Structure 1
Amino acid sequence: MIFRMMTTAKIGAAMATAMTLTALPASATECIAPSNPGGGWDFTCRTIGRILTELDLVDGNVQVTNMPGGVGAVTFAMVASERPDDAELIVATSTVGITQIAQGRYPAPLDSMRYLAMLGADVGVIAVDDDSPIQSLEELNAAMLEDASAIVTAGSSGAGGWDHIRLLMVADAAGVDDLGAIRWVQFDGGTDAVTQMMGGQIDVVSTDLGEIAGFVESGDIRVLAALSDDPIPAFPDIPTAISQGIDVTGYNWRGLYTGGDVTDAEYAAWVEKLETLYNSEAWQTAATQSGLVPIWRGGEAFEAFVREQADVMEEISRDIGVIE
C-alpha cells in the first residue's frame, strides 16, 4: 500500500480528476526545484521540463531554476508574494513539502497554490557509505539498540519531517526505545546529505532513492533497505525492509504546483499537458529507470489528494509531538 504510514506512542515520546474546462495553450518557461541540483525536486523539474519540450507541449526549452531554502519554504514564499498568477511557472513538490506545510513551517497556507498533478512516487531508502562498517539493516538496528546516540543520521527534511519520520518508523519497528536519542541533521536535499556522509560527518541517510540514485549506481553508497512493498524494478538487488523483518514502507510522491491566482483555463491546460506527458513512453521510461513508481493524479483529484495528505501529516505530526 503506497501511502501506508505508521505511528506509535514511542515516536510521540521521542519527538516531545482533471477539471472539466476547455483547455487553453499553456507554455512552461520555468520550473523551480526548491533544492540544490541533484535532488528529487531537481529530477522532477529537469525530467519533466525536458519531456515537455521533446513532446512539443511547450514552446522552446523549459528553464530549470534551483532555489533551495527551508525545504521548499523559500520558493513557496516567493511564488505566493511575487508570482501567484504566473501561468508559465511550475514548481516541484512532494510528500516532504506537504508535510512541512502541515506542520506550519511554510510562510503561507496550503491553498496559496494550485496543485497540478502527481506523476509518480519515490521510494524511501536507508543508506550508508560504501566504507561503513554497517553492512545490513539488521546491523544498523543492532547498533541503534545498543546506543542510539552513537548514530548520526540525516535527510532532506527537518526533525519531524518525512525523511526523519521514516527513519523513526524503522527504528521503532526494530524495538529501539529511546528514539529521541537518535541524532538527526537536516539538509536541503538527499544529495547534500550523502555528500556529507561520504565525507564522514554522517553515519546514515534516510531519503528517497530518486535523490541519490547516481550514488547507488556508482557504488559510492550502500542501500541497506528500500521502504517499499516490493523490490524496486530499477534496483532489484536492494532488499526491502519488509524482507528483513521490518514491516515499514515509506513512499514520497512527486508532483507540481503553480500559483494560486492562475486562471481555471490555464490550470486545466497544464493538467492536460501533464497527463499527456505522464502517458508518454519517455516519462514512463525515465520514471522507472530512476526508481519511481509511476502514478497519475491530476486536476481536482490531485487537489483533493493533497488536502487529504496534509490532514494526515498534521495528525501524524501531532501524534509524534512535532506540533501541538
Structure 2
Amino acid sequence: MLYHRITGLSAGLTAALLAAGTAQAQDYPVDTVTLVTHSSPGGGSDVFLRELARYLGPALGANVVVENVTGGSGANAIADLAQSPADGSRLYATTPTFIYTSLLSELEYGYDDLEPLVNVFTDPEVIFTAADSPYQTLEDVIQHARDDRGTWGAANPASLERQSLEMLKTATGVDAAVVTHEGGGDLMINVLNGTLDIGVGEIQELAGQIEAGEVRILATLTAEPIEAYPDLPTVQSLGYDVAVRKFRGLAGPKGLPEDVIAAWERAIPEVLANPEYQAVYEANSLRPDFIPHDEYAAFIAEFGAETEQFLRETGVIQ
C-alpha cells in the first residue's frame, strides 16, 4: 500500500479528516453478521460456523448467526453471497467444495465471484472403514482393490474428498470405483453397512462414530501426523504421494471495504487465542491456520488453478 504525504492542510482540516476516517472505520461491525454455509445442520461447515459464532460475537462486537443455504453442492450459497451487499453483514464459509462446485458445474456465479476474506482452520481429512470390516490397514484396502477392484466413497461429487481418492487411485495404480453421495450421512451409512470399503472424511464429522467404536481410521491425508492420533500413519508415510489441505475460511461479496477486512483480521486471531475455544477446536482436531485477506485471496486463486488443472488432467472436466 502506498502512502502519500499530505501538505498544505491546516491543522483543523487535518483533524477533521482524521475524525471522519475514524467514524467511517467504526461503521463496522453491523448489528448482526450472518455466516452462511452450504452444509445441512450437523455438517462440517455448519458445526465449524456454529462453534466459531459462539466466541466470535464478543470479539467482533456483533450478534453472529448461522444460516444454512443448501442445495447444488454449494451453488445456491455461492449465488446468495455473490448477490448480497458487500458490507460484511453476510459472509460465506469457504471450503474446497465451493471451488469444485464452480469448476464442475456451469454456474451463473462461481468461486471467483466472491472475495476471500480470511482463513481460520485446516481440517484434517482421514480415510476410514467400518470397525467390523476386514481391512485393518490401508494396504489391505489397496490390495483388495488390486484383486477385486474395490469401492471407495466420498460425501459429495464436487469435493476435495473425491479428488483425494482419485489421487490415491493414481498413486497406487488401482482402478477402484469412486462413489459420491449427497452428503456425509449417506456416505457413513454405506461405509458402516459394508457397501463401501472406505470413505474419506474429517475428524470432527467422524467424532461420534469414533467415540462409539463404529469406524476404524486407517490413515490421514495430511502432510504431517495429527497430534491427537500420533500413531495414525499419513498416506505419504505409507509410500503414496497423496496429501490434501482442507481449508476452512470465510468469503464475502466482491468489494469488501477495508474496515470490514481489518475487523476480521483482528477478530480471528483473538478468537483462536481464546483458551475456551482452543479446547473446543483441538478436541475436533482442527488446526489453527489464520491467513489474512491478501494472502488468502492469493491462496484461493492458486488452489483454484491447481484444482482445475487436476480435473482436466484426469478427464473429469474437458
Measured against the shorter chain, the TM-score band is 0.7 to 0.9
Give 2:34's aligned residue: 30
Q: Which amino acid counterpart does residue 157 of structure 2 have in structure 1?
A: G
Cα 1:46–1:317 change in 2 (3 A) is: same
Taking the aligned partners of 2:185 and 2:122, their CA distance within structure 1 comes to 18
C-alpha contact (below 8 Å) 1:39/1:212 kept by paired residues? no
Alignment partner of 1:142 is 2:143? yes
Which residue does the alignment assign to 1:85?
86
State the shift of 1:90 in Å: 2.0
Give the conservation status (yes or no) of the 8 Å contact 1:122–1:253.
Answer: yes
CA offsets, 1:32-67, max 9 Å, x none? 2211222221122112111113x442334x322223
Deviation at 1:306, TM superposition (A): 0.9
**TM superposition shift of 1:316:** 1.3
2:41 is aligned with what amino acid? Answer: P
Q: Equivalent residue for 2:290?
A: 296
- Structure 1 residues 86 and 153, CA, compared in 2 at 3 Å: closer, same or farther? farther
Query: CA-to-partner distance for each residue in 1:239-292, whole Å, 9 max, x for gaps?
Result: 322333333212211111122254333333233322322343344433332122
Q: Alignment RMSD, CA only?
A: 2.5
Contact 1:35–1:41 (CA under 8 A) maintained in structure 2:
yes
Structure 2 gaps, min length 5: 2-20
Partner of 2:168: 170
Structure number with greater Rg is 2
Q: Is the 8 A contact 1:152 1:185 kept in 2?
A: no
Name the SS for the 1:173 alignment partner.
helix
Could you say if the C-alpha distance between residues 236 and 214 of structure 1 is closer, same or farther in structure 2, counting changes exceeding 3 Å? farther
Aligned identity (percent) is 29
Q: Output the CA distance in 2 between the equivalents of 1:68 and 1:212.
A: 21
Name 1:153's counterpart in structure 2. 152
Map residues 91-102 of structure 1 onto 2, 5 A cutoff: 91-102=92-103
Range moving further from structure 2, 309-318 or 262-271: 262-271
- Specify every segment of 5 or more residues in structure 1 that has no aligned partner in the other structure, as ranges: 1-16
Preserved CA contact (<8 Å) 1:126 1:226: yes
Please say if residues 78 and 110 of structure 2, whose CA atoms lie closer than 8 Å, have aligned partners that are also in contact.
Answer: no
* Equivalent position to 2:303, from 291, 309, 321: 309
Closer/same/farther in 2, CA of residues 169 and 126 from structure 1, 3 Å limit: same
Instruction: Give me the TM-score of the superposition, normalised by structure 2.
Output: 0.83
In 2, Cα distance between equivalents of 1:265 and 1:320: 42
Which residue of 2 is the match for residue 214 of structure 1? 208
| TM alignment of 1:241-320, pairs within 5 A | 241-320=235-314
CA distance in 1, matches of 2:129, 2:220: 13
**What is the alpha-carbon distance in structure 2 between the residues aligned to residue 68 and residue 200 of structure 1?**
28
Contact 1:117 1:297 survives alignment (8 Å): yes
Given residue 44 of structure 1, which amino acid in structure 2 is its aligned partner? F
Which region of structure 1 is more displaced relative to structure 2, 111-120 or 190-199?
190-199
Which residue of 1 is the match for residue 182 of structure 2?
187
| Superposition deviation, residue 102 in structure 1 | 3.7
The structure whose RCO (Cα within 8 Å, separation 6+) is larger is 1
Q: Could you tell me the TM-score, scaled by structure 1's length?
A: 0.81
Find the residue that maps to 1:128 and give its secondary structure. Answer: strand
2:66 corresponds in structure 1 to: 64
